[in-house]
Amino acid sequence: MAEIGLVGVGVMGAAFALNLVEKGHRVSLLDRTQDKIDDVAATARAQGLSGEVVACVAPKDFVASLRTPRSILVLVPAGGPLDVVIDSLTPHLDKGDLIADLGNSNFRDTEARVSAFEAQGFQFLGIGVSGGEEGARSGPSIMAGGSRNSWAQVKDTLSDAAAKYEDVPCCDWFGPGGAGHFIKTLHNGIEYADMQLIAEVYGIMRDGLGMTAADIAPVFERWNTGPLESYLVEIAGEVAGAVDSVSGGSMLDMIVDKAGQKGTGRWSVIEALHLGSPVGMIAAAVEARNISAARGARFRMEASFGPAPQWLEGSAEDRAPVIDTLEQALIAAKINAYIQGLEVLDRASAEFGWDLDLAAVARVWRAGCIIRAGFLNEIAQVIDSGGSANLAMDGGFGQKLVETLPALRVVVATSVSAGLSTPALFAALNFHDQRRTSLGTANMIQGLRDYFGAHGFERYDSKGEVAHGPWGEQ
């Protein structure tokens, strides 16, 4: 009998199946396309992997091939395709059997599925998996939600397959219901912000400093050896330095500047709004992708208003201090992106009763996932030591912000003056400036609301009481 089953042998499913087989597991596979299963089995044999693939042609045979209580991993698109798989499997399951959804499902759908399954005597896990095809094959970051008992059934197998950070699996259970999928959603939201920040500093170097992609590649490579060390900065250098085999020029220059999205960034913003938690950087990244899709409108606007001018025309030596300033600005913005994401998780934990361990979340993100970065180990240590999601109040991160915020301010101000679009960098600065201001301007908002709607407000000299202004007496 197979130890575990896997449904959906697409790019991610095939890679994850080979990962499990390489770790010595006997894995049953089910897919609509038999050739995909055969390819995985052939690859496993060719690579001499120590486990075994069991090919199945029908849901009934697939379920029967698994030892009980059965554990089934599903890697298919969220929504309808997932429902089809679940409906095909449940008639053949026994009480105590488990289905784990490893796709990018909305956490609210996962909450409903967990409740429905448990009511029938089955088990259901919602598991966020990050790392793309490479991570699925060599070790992803894994974030689980559901019951503790359900997690215990697959913990060892998934820990085998997960990425390792200093031999510690980047794999953990975080709470009931949709906790795992919510954490994956916010992981992706931070990923959106991080990529947008990288794109903006690339744009400043290209359009503000007149640098080519080949000039920019070593900048990212150098940054990756310092405080910005991360997977995304690392691959930004590789993307900028890649040569197109067709044109012979820069690969990056041949890529149409039009970005799509699969929903998790948008969900991050929506859920944060419900929770009353600011995520301006993620929202800016989502909006930037939406604007990028409207290429025709952008061409017409540039024809009417003209392109943004370069900041600086000169030698590499002239650019060097500007590039150093960009590095410091990116550090400040990146810290604020983590603050926004962690604070959403903290509020969700309180709202949904998940009791999330934010240090454990940071540890799971240290390897395997897309936002893995040197910062994350430090974040875990800060929270383990009693720090909060607001990293700005930690001595170490607070000092980093003190040192790097002036650079962020210069970059944003210069970009705005030159007409270069930097929405996520601007959002990072605005987020920090609003939060460091003890006397804001919401008193005017409250006065206006009371004037037109008699909503009332709180007075400084009578806290807790609802007061109204004199305008109603006029």
What pLDDT, in 10s, does the model give residues 223-282?
A: 999 999 999 999 999 999 999 999 999 999 999 999 987 789 999 999 999 999 999 999
* pLDDT score, position 350: 97
Cα distance between residue 30 and residue 94, in whole Å: 18
**Average pLDDT of the segment spanning 62-70:** 97
For residue 128, the model assigns a pLDDT of 97
Q: How does residue 312 score in pLDDT terms, banded at 50, 70 and 90?
A: low
pLDDT at position 306: 87
**C-alpha to C-alpha distance for 260 and 270, rounded to whole angstroms:** 18
Query: Is the Cβ–Cβ distance between 114 and 143 less than 8 Å?
Result: no
Please determine, for residue 381, whether its predicted confidence score (pLDDT) is greater than 90: yes
The pLDDT, as a whole number, for residue 314 is 61
> Residue 301: what pLDDT?
93
Identify the band that residue 81 occupies on the pLDDT scale cut at 50, 70 and 90. Answer: very high
Quick check: 222 pLDDT over 60? yes
Q: Are the C-beta atoms of residues 7 and 62 closer than 8 Å to each other?
A: yes
- Give the pair of three-digit tokens for residue 453: 């709607």
d(CA 293, CA 89): 39
Looking at per-residue pLDDT, the higher value among 309 and 374 belongs to 374
Mean pLDDT of 120-129: 97
473 pLDDT above the threshold of 90: no
Q: What local confidence, expressed as pLDDT, does residue 309 receive? A: 74
| Phi, psi (rounded to 5 degrees) for 279 | -140, 50
Do the Cβ atoms of 5 and 28 come closer than 8 Å? Answer: yes
For residue 7, pLDDT over 90 is answered with: yes
Per the annotation, the verdict on 191 as an active-site residue is yes
Q: What is the pLDDT of residues 423-457, one digit of tens each?
A: 999 999 999 999 999 999 999 999 999 999 999 99
For residue 353, the tally of other CB atoms under 10 A from its CB is: 11
- What pLDDT does residue 313 have? 61
Residue 60 bears catalytic tag: no
Q: What kind and span of H or E run contains 99?
A: strand 98-101
Active-site option among 3, 22, 111, 191: 191
Q: Please give the Cα distance from 318 to 215 (Å, whole number).
A: 14
Catalytic residue among 22, 36, 184, 327: 184
Q: Is the pLDDT of residue 333 over 80?
A: yes
The number of CA neighbours under 13 Å toward the Cβ of 122 is 22
Tokens describing residue 154: 């697959």
Task: Please give the Cα distance from 14 to 27 (Å, whole number).
Answer: 11
Q: What are 92-101's pLDDT values in tens digits?
A: 999 999 999 9
* Rounded distance between C-alpha atoms, residue 383 and residue 390, angstroms: 10
User: DSSP H helical segments within 276-314, as ranges?
Assistant: 280-293, 295-305
Mean pLDDT within 120-137: 96
Does 474 score more than 80 pLDDT? Answer: no
pLDDT at residue 463, as a whole number: 79
- Give, as one character, the DSSP assignment of residue 354: -
68 and 94 Cβ atoms separated by less than 8 Å: yes
- Which structure tokens are listed for 276? 């009353």
447/239 Cα distance (integer angstroms): 51
Cα–Cα distance between 123 and 125 in angstroms, integer? 7
Q: Note whether 471 and 451 are within 8 A (CB).
A: yes
pLDDT grade for 346, boundaries at 50, 70 and 90: very high
Taking Cα atoms as reference points, which of 232, 233, 212, 213 lies closest to residue 222? 233
What is the average pLDDT across 371-391? 94
Cα distance between residue 191 and residue 343, in whole Å: 15
The per-residue b/e assignment along 31-46, b for 16 or more CB within 10 angstroms, e otherwise, is: beeeebbeebbeebee
Is the predicted pLDDT of residue 311 greater than 90, yes or no? no
Q: What pLDDT is attached to residue 260?
A: 80
pTM, two decimal places: 0.94
Identify the structural domains of the chain with CATH numbers, from first to last: 4-177 (3.40.50.720), 185-435 (1.10.1040.10), 442-473 (1.20.5.320)
Confidence of residue 153 (pLDDT cuts 50, 70, 90): very high
Q: Residue 459 belongs to what H/E stretch?
A: strand 457-459
pLDDT of amino acid 263: 85
The chain-wide mean pLDDT, for the chain, equals 95
Residue 168 has what pLDDT? Answer: 96
| Segment 12-26 mean pLDDT | 97
Place of tokens 């400043």: 204
pLDDT band (50, 70, 90) for residue 110: very high
137-141, 306-310, 337-341 — which is least confidently predicted? 306-310
